Amino acid sequence: MSKKFVEEFKVVENIALNSSNFLIKLLSKKALPQIAPGQFVNVEVKNSKEIFLRRPFSVFEVDYTQNTMSLIVKILGRGSKKLTEAEDGDTINIVYPLGKSFSYPEKEDKVLLIGGGSGVAPMLFLAKESGLVKENVDILLGARSKEDHIDVSDYAKYGNLHYTTEDGSLGEKGFVTHHSIFEQINNYNKIYACGPDAMMKAVAKIAKKEGVFCEVSLENLMACGFGVCLCCIEPTQKGNLCICTEGPVFNIKELKW
């Protein structure tokens, strides 16, 4: 176990990345602890009559010199909507850092990072932190259509960007697992993925069949986020495990998929 905090962060930036995704940058009053890709925070939704529990969001970026941390919040329901209405100077109460991160790749690994929906943030964080040469990193992002993709061109320096859209308006048409990259999936030593349940399962299925190392990040519903409620469980080879403490990142070998 490691030290965790409950802190009021100050909103220093809230930018609409597209119609449904917002980049929220948060300033801490004190030095931030180490936070790794795949870890998440649990966010209080203030001033909302309907929302009782916190909402979990992956960390997207950390700047230890500025003491800032950023999240990408996609509007799904009432809580995420409310969060995207935050204004500069507002405070947001956060429990952090939570969960286990992705395992870092080895120096010579060739990796595929797959992100979809609200799963883009940790993948970009991992791309940045992977320490690999650009040539060895493929980043594959999936969405419904062009407008649902956010602009990630900054990340071209960390890896080769690939896209799928369900309507074919950007990149290849179809789901991420339909992308031509999957024709040579054995080129990769490691696959990392974060996104909707169905996407994770599709990726895991192929990785399993091809015997490629694969870590996925899950998004089960949470009440506490730090291991005391046992609500967020996933059946694994070791029994029901809480994804908030034993995950959200799992090697697919551990899962029952």
Partner 1 sequence: MVNLKVKIDDLDLKNPVMTASGTSGFAEELTDFYDVGQLGGLLLKGTTLKNRDGNAYPRMAETASGMLNAVGLQNKGIDYFIENIYPRIKDYNTPLIVNVNGSTVEEYIAVTEKVNELDKIPAIELNISCPNVKEGGMSFGISCPSAEAVTREVRRVYDKTLIVKLSPNVTDITEIAKAVEGQGADSVSLVNTFLGMAIDSEKRIPLLSTVTGGLSGPAIKPIALRMVWQVYNAVKIPVIGMGGIMNAADAIEFMLAGATAVQVGTAIFKDPFIPVQIIKGIEEYLERHKILSVSELVGCLQM
Ligand X SMILES: Cc1cc2nc3c(=O)[nH]c(=O)nc-3n(C[C@H](O)[C@H](O)[C@H](O)COP(=O)(O)OP(=O)(O)OC[C@H]3O[C@@H](n4cnc5c(N)ncnc54)[C@H](O)[C@@H]3O)c2cc1C
Contact call for residue 95 and ligand FES (CB under 6 A): no
DSSP states along 187-252 = G-SEEEEES-HHHHHHHHHHHHHHT-EEEEE-----SSSSSSS--SEEEETTEEEETTTT-BEEEG
Contact call for residue 188 and ligand X (CB under 6 A): no
Out of 18, 48, 189, 251, which residue is the one contacting a second copy (CB under 8 A)?
48
Contact call for residue 229 and partner 1 (CB under 8 A): yes
The H or E element that residue 12 is part of is strand 5-16
Out of 23, 95, 181, 214, which residue is the one contacting partner 1 (CB under 8 A)?
95
- Report the 10 Å Cβ neighbour count for 20: 18
Out of 224, 241, 249, 252, which residue is the one contacting ligand FES (CB under 6 A)?
224
- Binder of residue 121, out of partner 1, ligand X, ligand FES, none (CB less than 5 to 8 A by kind): ligand X
- Angle made by CA atoms 72, 70, 23, in degrees to the nearest 5: 40
Residue 56 is labelled as binding a ligand: yes
Beta bridge partners of 251: 215
Out of 71, 86, 216, 232, which residue is the one contacting ligand FES (CB under 6 A)?
232
Interaction residues for ligand FMN, span 173-232 (CB under 6 A):
229, 231
Interaction residues for ligand X, span 198-257 (CB under 6 A):
219-222, 248
Please, what is the minimum distance in Å from the beta carbon of residue 241 to partner 1?
10
Kindly provide the residue ranges of all beta strands, DSSP E only, lying in 99-184, ordered along the sequence. Answer: 111-116, 137-143, 160-165, 172-173
What residue ranges bind a second copy (CB under 8 A)? 46-49, 51
